[in-house]
Amino acid sequence: MNHQQAFAGKISSLRKLMAEKEVSALILRRNPNLAWVISGRAHVPTTIDAACFDLVITEDSTFAITNAIEAPRLAAEEFPEGLEVKVVQWWEGRNHGLPSSTVIGSDQPAAGLVDLSLEIEVLRASLDEYDQGRITDISRRAAQALGDAMKEVQSSDREIDVAAKITSALWQKNLEISFLGVAGESRVKKFRHPLPTDALIGNRASASICAKEKGLIASVTRIVTFGDLTTTHENEYSSLLEVEADLLDATIIGKPFSSVIDVATLSYGNNGFDRDEWHHHHQGGPTGFMPRDWPATQASERLIQSQQVIAWNPTGKGWKVEETILTRPSGISLLTGDANWPSRTVRGRVRPDLLRRDH
């Protein structure tokens, strides 16, 4: 399957949804949904959800609406070949180019529009063959980039120095950053989302990334330690890998996401952590075109789909394990492995170890 075929397949799926919901047109405006449909970048600033174009789908046509600044680049570098583009001036809004029939669906709630945001999110949750290949490649490169950067970290570095190394390594592999967290010794036990500061690394560096290429996102965490680890620290990390193994074992197509979180609520206490350790950080959830579409909870009734991208991220006592996985009928595939990073085997799966270094 190529880019053009993938686009056609997604448009076909959306037209089936339109028929089911009896809408005459569908307007897509959100970054993750547009990136999914075109397999390309729908943003300009990475900090806002609003995209730089709208996509309009009717029973017999598909066209994009964008301004004169973005149109040439989008047509040359992001849009599938042959997609019609309607151009407005940069000072004009795009709304006047949208269809005005009576029953129109959208991926954003708005007056007069049928809100199909949930249905579209469910559609994009199960990746087609084209995106399965893409997320596999993106995950591999993300893990390699993070691993390469972390091998260059020194205990005397600041967290922002580590962030610079990671950022450079990711761009070298043509990956954008959706999230970057770095914690050194003084902050690693305090904060679960440690945005980098000028604090020194000291004896431990933990880094987490959400790396993106043309909309698809891979999540991964790596940890470097300096000097000898205590037996307590070794046991804590080993125990967290057991918690992760419980989550991976529970990730079964057709089961609700809540079933995995039910396992997490017991697993921490069973593996030597406080029983309420899971209260202190979400355990992950469905991903793909968002760092997480939403964090899974005990109330998450939605079912795990086939060919769905998920990232679990158990944490405890300053340690974290994070992997991007793809669900398959034969079982989960771990996508963010790196043969050049230290590893160990847990329940038959190759899992990341700590990178142990001298000061």
CATH number of 3-124: 3.40.350.10
Q: Write the pLDDT tens digit of every residue in 6-29.
A: 999 999 999 999 999 999 999 999
* Nearest to 195, CA basis, from 187, 247, 250: 187
- Which token pair is 68? 């004169």
Q: Quickly tell me which residue has 């954008």 as its tokens.
A: 176
The stretch 136-141 carries a mean pLDDT of 98
Q: Write the pLDDT tens digit of every residue in 322-356.
A: 999 999 999 999 999 999 999 999 999 999 999 99
Rounded Cα–Cα distance for residues 210 and 66 (Å): 28
Q: Write the pLDDT tens digit of every residue in 280-319.
A: 999 999 999 999 999 999 999 999 999 999 999 999 999 9
* Nearest to 167, CA basis, from 202, 198, 211, 200: 211
Q: Write the pLDDT tens digit of every residue in 75-120.
A: 999 999 999 999 999 998 888 778 777 799 999 988 889 999 999 9
| Strands (E) located in the chain | 25-30, 50-58, 62-67, 84-88, 104-106, 114-115, 176-183, 204-213, 216-226, 284-286, 309-312, 315-316, 319-320, 323-326, 333-334, 343-346, 349-352, 355-357
pLDDT at residue 179 greater than cutoff 90: yes
Parse the chain into domains and list their residue ranges: 3-124, 129-357
Q: What are phi and psi of 256, to 5 degrees?
A: -70, 150
| Length of the chain measured in residues | 359
CATH 3.10.20.600 for domain 129-357, yes or no, is no
Contacts of 175 (CB under 8 A, 6+ apart): 138, 141, 142, 145, 211, 212, 213
For residue 251, the cross-strand partners are none
Q: Please classify residue 278 by burial: count the beta carbons closer than 10 Å to its beta carbon, then call 0-12 exposed, 13-18 middle and 19+ buried.
A: buried
Pairing of strands 204-213, 216-226: antiparallel
Please check whether the two domains, 3-124 and 129-357, share a CATH topology: no
Rounded Cα–Cα distance for residues 49 and 33 (Å): 10
